[in-house]
Protein backbone atom coordinates (compact mmCIF):
# COMPACT_ATOMS: atom_id res chain seq x y z
CA UNK A 1 0.00 0.00 0.00
CA UNK A 2 1.41 3.39 -1.01
CA UNK A 3 2.36 5.93 1.69
CA UNK A 4 1.34 9.42 0.50
CA UNK A 5 3.14 12.64 1.53
CA UNK A 6 2.07 16.16 0.50
CA UNK A 7 4.18 19.28 1.14
CA UNK A 8 2.24 22.53 1.61
CA UNK A 9 3.28 26.20 1.51
CA UNK A 10 1.36 29.36 0.61
CA UNK A 11 1.09 29.45 -3.18
CA UNK A 12 2.82 26.18 -4.16
CA UNK A 13 5.45 27.93 -6.31
CA UNK A 14 8.50 28.22 -4.00
CA UNK A 15 8.93 26.17 -0.84
CA UNK A 16 6.58 23.21 -1.29
CA UNK A 17 7.60 22.39 -4.88
CA UNK A 18 11.22 22.58 -3.72
CA UNK A 19 10.48 20.18 -0.85
CA UNK A 20 8.53 17.89 -3.19
CA UNK A 21 11.39 17.71 -5.70
CA UNK A 22 14.09 17.13 -3.07
CA UNK A 23 12.07 14.51 -1.20
CA UNK A 24 11.05 12.70 -4.39
CA UNK A 25 14.76 12.43 -5.24
CA UNK A 26 15.57 11.11 -1.73
CA UNK A 27 12.79 8.53 -2.04
CA UNK A 28 14.10 7.41 -5.46
CA UNK A 29 17.71 7.22 -4.18
CA UNK A 30 16.49 4.99 -1.33
CA UNK A 31 14.67 2.72 -3.81
CA UNK A 32 11.32 3.47 -2.17
CA UNK A 33 9.45 5.05 -5.08
CA UNK A 34 7.13 2.04 -5.32
CA UNK A 35 6.14 2.55 -1.65
CA UNK A 36 6.06 6.35 -1.28
CA UNK A 37 4.16 8.95 -3.33
CA UNK A 38 5.25 12.61 -3.07
CA UNK A 39 3.15 15.66 -3.93
CA UNK A 40 2.74 19.35 -3.04
CA UNK A 41 0.12 22.09 -2.90
CA UNK A 42 -0.54 25.57 -1.55
CA UNK A 43 -2.94 26.83 1.10
CA UNK A 44 -4.18 29.39 -1.45
CA UNK A 45 -5.04 29.15 -5.12
CA UNK A 46 -3.44 32.37 -6.39
CA UNK A 47 -0.92 30.54 -8.57
CA UNK A 48 -2.99 27.48 -9.48
CA UNK A 49 -1.88 26.11 -12.85
CA UNK A 50 1.37 28.12 -12.85
CA UNK A 51 4.85 26.59 -12.94
CA UNK A 52 7.18 26.96 -9.96
CA UNK A 53 8.81 30.37 -9.47
CA UNK A 54 11.74 30.67 -11.94
CA UNK A 55 14.13 31.13 -9.00
CA UNK A 56 12.91 27.87 -7.46
CA UNK A 57 13.42 26.09 -10.77
CA UNK A 58 16.89 27.62 -11.16
CA UNK A 59 18.05 26.58 -7.67
CA UNK A 60 16.59 23.08 -8.04
CA UNK A 61 18.14 22.45 -11.44
CA UNK A 62 21.48 23.94 -10.37
CA UNK A 63 21.58 21.32 -7.61
CA UNK A 64 20.51 18.42 -9.82
CA UNK A 65 16.80 18.28 -8.96
CA UNK A 66 13.79 18.28 -11.27
CA UNK A 67 12.25 21.76 -11.59
CA UNK A 68 9.05 20.73 -13.41
CA UNK A 69 5.91 21.62 -11.46
CA UNK A 70 2.31 22.87 -11.75
CA UNK A 71 0.85 24.73 -8.75
CA UNK A 72 -2.43 23.74 -7.14
CA UNK A 73 -4.41 24.43 -4.00
CA UNK A 74 -4.72 21.94 -1.13
CA UNK A 75 -8.25 20.60 -0.60
CA UNK A 76 -9.59 19.29 2.72
CA UNK A 77 -10.91 16.20 0.93
CA UNK A 78 -7.29 15.15 0.28
CA UNK A 79 -6.79 14.27 3.95
CA UNK A 80 -8.66 11.01 3.36
CA UNK A 81 -5.97 9.75 0.95
CA UNK A 82 -2.88 11.32 2.54
CA UNK A 83 -0.76 9.79 5.28
CA UNK A 84 1.37 12.84 6.04
CA UNK A 85 0.87 16.54 5.28
CA UNK A 86 4.11 18.49 5.67
CA UNK A 87 3.73 22.22 6.36
CA UNK A 88 6.60 24.58 5.57
CA UNK A 89 5.85 27.05 8.36
CA UNK A 90 3.69 27.55 11.45
CA UNK A 91 1.06 29.52 9.51
CA UNK A 92 0.57 26.63 7.09
CA UNK A 93 0.47 24.18 10.00
CA UNK A 94 -2.37 26.10 11.67
CA UNK A 95 -4.29 26.63 8.41
CA UNK A 96 -4.06 22.94 7.51
CA UNK A 97 -5.12 21.77 10.96
CA UNK A 98 -8.15 24.09 10.78
CA UNK A 99 -8.96 22.63 7.35
CA UNK A 100 -8.70 19.03 8.60
CA UNK A 101 -12.12 17.31 8.77
CA UNK A 102 -11.19 15.25 11.86
CA UNK A 103 -8.71 15.30 14.75
CA UNK A 104 -7.08 12.24 13.19
CA UNK A 105 -6.56 14.24 9.97
CA UNK A 106 -5.18 17.23 11.90
CA UNK A 107 -2.63 14.89 13.51
CA UNK A 108 -1.28 14.09 10.03
CA UNK A 109 0.06 17.66 9.71
CA UNK A 110 3.69 18.19 10.73
CA UNK A 111 6.30 20.91 10.19
CA UNK A 112 9.09 19.94 7.79
CA UNK A 113 11.91 21.23 9.98
CA UNK A 114 10.65 19.16 12.92
CA UNK A 115 12.50 16.32 11.14
CA UNK A 116 15.83 18.22 11.35
CA UNK A 117 17.40 17.88 14.83
CA UNK A 118 19.74 20.79 14.05
CA UNK A 119 16.77 23.16 13.50
CA UNK A 120 16.25 23.65 17.24
CA UNK A 121 13.28 25.96 17.86
CA UNK A 122 13.48 27.55 14.38
CA UNK A 123 10.98 25.30 12.61
CA UNK A 124 9.75 27.65 9.87
CA UNK A 125 11.23 27.58 6.38
CA UNK A 126 11.16 31.33 5.54
CA UNK A 127 9.31 32.36 2.38
CA UNK A 128 11.96 33.38 -0.19
CA UNK A 129 9.42 34.90 -2.62
CA UNK A 130 10.06 38.60 -1.89
CA UNK A 131 13.84 38.31 -1.64
CA UNK A 132 16.78 37.40 -3.82
CA UNK A 133 18.39 34.13 -4.85
CA UNK A 134 20.12 33.72 -1.48
CA UNK A 135 16.71 33.11 0.11
CA UNK A 136 16.02 30.29 -2.34
CA UNK A 137 19.45 28.77 -1.67
CA UNK A 138 18.79 28.97 2.09
CA UNK A 139 15.37 27.38 1.58
CA UNK A 140 16.96 24.49 -0.34
CA UNK A 141 19.53 23.95 2.42
CA UNK A 142 16.77 23.75 5.04
CA UNK A 143 14.69 21.40 2.91
CA UNK A 144 17.66 19.11 2.24
CA UNK A 145 18.62 19.03 5.92
CA UNK A 146 15.09 18.07 7.02
CA UNK A 147 14.61 15.53 4.22
CA UNK A 148 17.03 13.04 5.78
CA UNK A 149 15.04 12.72 9.01
CA UNK A 150 11.75 12.85 7.14
CA UNK A 151 12.85 10.00 4.88
CA UNK A 152 13.71 7.84 7.88
CA UNK A 153 10.31 8.50 9.50
CA UNK A 154 8.41 7.88 6.26
CA UNK A 155 10.48 4.79 5.43
CA UNK A 156 9.59 3.23 8.81
CA UNK A 157 5.89 4.05 8.39
CA UNK A 158 5.75 2.82 4.77
CA UNK A 159 7.67 -0.39 5.40
CA UNK A 160 5.66 -1.07 8.56
CA UNK A 161 2.50 -0.80 6.54
CA UNK A 162 3.86 -3.02 3.73
CA UNK A 163 4.94 -5.77 6.19
CA distance 14 to 56: 6
Q: Which residue out of 4, 15, 24, 110 is catalytically annotated?
A: 15
Contact between residue 1 and residue 161 where contact means Cβ atoms under 8 Å apart:
yes
Main-chain dihedrals φ then ψ at residue 3, nearest 5 degrees: -95, 125
Q: Which of 50, 72, 127, 155 is catalytic?
A: 127
Task: Answer yes or no: 139 catalytic.
Answer: no
Distance separating alpha carbons of residues 53 and 66, to the nearest angstrom: 13
CB-count burial class (<10 Å; 0-12, 13-18, 19+) for 55: buried
Choose the catalytic residue: 4, 6, 9, 55. Answer: 9
Judge whether 9 counts as a catalytic residue: yes
Cβ neighbours of 90 (radius 10 Å): 11
Contact 63, 28 (CB under 8 A): no
Q: Is 127 a catalytic residue?
A: yes
- Catalytic residues, by residue number, are 9, 15, 127
Amino acid sequence: MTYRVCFVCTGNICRSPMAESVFRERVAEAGLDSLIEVDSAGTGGWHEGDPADPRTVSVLEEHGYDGGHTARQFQSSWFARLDLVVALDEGHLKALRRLAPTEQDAAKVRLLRSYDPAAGDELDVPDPYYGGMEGFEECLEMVEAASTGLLEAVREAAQGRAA
